[in-house]
Chains A and B, each alone.
Chain A
């Protein structure tokens, strides 16, 4: 095991390399630029290719091309670039092309604040492209070390499900320096629960079965298998067809291959102080969860029965984690409240769900502790301007 004091971007790069990624295409954007730079340094050393694209749309399309040629590929960006992925993301979903996308969130909308963390793309990562009729997979790490783990996992899931997988991080995780351990062999990879799935080559002639099966090799061109892929509704052989029934079969597959294999994500969450039916469950993901965890530990020492539930697998949304009849507080790095809407939907009917939104910075321990206390004591939340806005 090699140890480093390095950034999340470094960890993602090493994770990608461990997962077998040998192609990265990107377009410079704060705060994902450092990842592109790290890839441009490291990939050639590992026999891989770094390419700079004319825009994010081209970057992800280039990754599609590399993936179609049999390479494991990745791209990375921030919110303003992520919206330019809409086109290729949809194509990769439809053609079932394994890819990994990293989004390091900053403050939006539009260019917003470039060097500050935000979580404004919770829903955008669920619906990164038009048309609906698909599921997406999104993983949200909360540390540099977990960035590496989730990058490896994203490549694993991308191969098994034949689809793009998004790692949703934020500026603080990707830019911040932390202790990072990089495994040096298969044994150490196993020790860290890193799973790797090799790229396989679909031999055809049926490339798109109308079922929810996973572990089907993706279309790889250049092996003269007669492989076909396109943006149109595919027949099983990949021919284009314009027919609602055929499209329904295709969409069924895109939706249910993910929904029916939820067991593959079941370990993607983190619970703290959750075993004694807490009075208040604090829900978060990504960097804010670190402050939440500290605040919950502090609250416990003060006798408040608070628990923390951190989501790592954001999509498909883990409804099964929200069975407790309790009070909930959702902490997010945005002011409009996104995760809170999903939590509200998933909790038992009579549960009260509160929202604490902060953007561009992390919530303070003080903010969190006073909010916990007030909710538990059924006191109204004091309103300090928009920071504690009712959702």
Chain B
């Protein structure tokens, strides 16, 4: 089902914050819409979701867009805040975090791994603009190798989390995440279906969603701010899992689905507290 953006906005988002102050042509809005549409299709209401965000383009531009309750954490620490909040919130409330790649895979990676380890019920949407774009465009931990950025004028030459067979998904799977997926913004309705599954998993879910940044990433790497170029470039370097080509950077689709297979963190914590109270042991 396709929804008009205006319907989604009036039902779920704050008119004061939409449109956001993102640069024109930014692909973040596509990711944002995918998430809100997934929420709509699941029949969830404003009151069912607490929306957390991080710092950077992805965090700042999505903060306070949700009509309901929301928060923005310090850079990289939102996963730790979310674990504490998860314990205090009623279990039926969904916790959705829209964060950036620098936040999740750089400064916050330890906390992210521990959130996955604990299998705390949250849906982390990593909106990947391929580096640190709100600070002007420095390379990050998923910036494709060889990319020219403001801090890699000769091309990004370090090993990173998306090069030479490495994939950040392996780390998160090993850490205990129960739902992992990747889509690029142009995956549209396919991505909506995936995000729905991510939200329904009572445990730690993460969807990695690279999106086009025409302003900083594209102008340096592709030499053009024309959004068509960067949209095409991202699309060309993405392929469904199993159909990867030589130059595929992002293998898309559901990477790992062990939804509802491991006990959820807050549930386990409260069950244990309850048992200790009643019997003095676990």
Contact = CB atoms under 8 A, between A and B. Distances in A.
Contacts of A210: none
Contact of B74 (A25, A66, A70, A88): A88
A58 B88 CA distance: 16
Contact of A221 (B16, B46, B71): B71
A63 interface: yes
Interface string B34-48: 000000000000110
Given A51-B83, A58-B80, A62-B80, A224 B72 contact: no
Given A44-B272, A225-B69, A65 B93 contact: no
Contact of B72 (A47, A71, A232): A232
A240 interface: yes
B171 interface: no
A230 B63 contact: yes
A73 interface: yes
A222 B111 contact: no
Given A221-B71, A229-B71, A66 B90 contact: no
B17 interface: yes
A53 B277 CA distance: 23
Interface in B15-72: 16-17, 46-47, 50, 53, 55, 60, 63-64, 67-72
A61 B80 contact: yes
B85 interface: yes
Interface in A90-119: 90-91, 95
A57 B77 contact: yes
Contact of B84 (A61, A224, A240): A61
A25 B88 CA distance: 13
Nearest to B269: A49
A357 to B, nearest CB: 35
A338 B163 CA distance: 51
B276 interface: yes
B84 A25 contact: yes
B88 A240 contact: no
Q: Which of B74, B86, B89, B273 has the most CB of A within 10 A?
A: B74
A68 interface: yes
Given A58-B80, A58-B114, A224-B68, A23 B73 contact: no
Interface string A23-36: 10100000000000
Nearest to A48: B273
A54 interface: yes
Contacts of A221: 50, 69-71, 85, 89
B277 A88 contact: no
Nearest to B70: A228
A239 B17 contact: yes
Contact of A240 (B63, B67, B73, B111): B63
B81 interface: yes
Nearest to A41: B276
A68 B88 contact: yes
A25 to B, nearest CB: 7
B234 interface: no
A48 B274 CA distance: 9
B267 interface: no
A27 to B, nearest CB: 11
Contacts of A229: 71-72
Contacts of A300: none
Interface string A66-85: 11111101000000000000
B84 A69 contact: yes
B87 interface: yes
Nearest to B273: A44
A152 interface: no
A228 B77 CA distance: 17
Nearest to A25: B84
Q: Which of B68, B86, B88, B114 has the most CB of A within 10 A?
A: B88
A49 B16 CA distance: 38
B110 interface: yes
A71 to B, nearest CB: 5
A51 B87 contact: yes
A223 B74 CA distance: 23
A342 interface: no
Contacts of B47: 224
Interface in A34-48: 43-45, 47-48
A240 B64 contact: yes
Nearest to B114: A54
24 contacts: A43-B273, A44-B272, A48-B273, A55-B110, A58-B80, A58-B111, A59-B80, A65-B85, A66-B84, A68-B71, A68-B85, A69-B85, A69-B87, A95-B71, A221-B50, A221-B69, A222-B50, A222-B89, A224-B46, A226-B68, A238-B64, A239-B64, A240-B63, A240-B64
Contacts of A18: none
A67 B73 CA distance: 13
A38 to B, nearest CB: 15
B88 A226 contact: no
Contacts of A225: 69
Give 10 closest A-B pairs by Cβ, nearest first: A69-B88, A65-B84, A230-B72, A65-B85, A62-B84, A61-B80, A58-B80, A224-B47, A44-B276, A66-B84
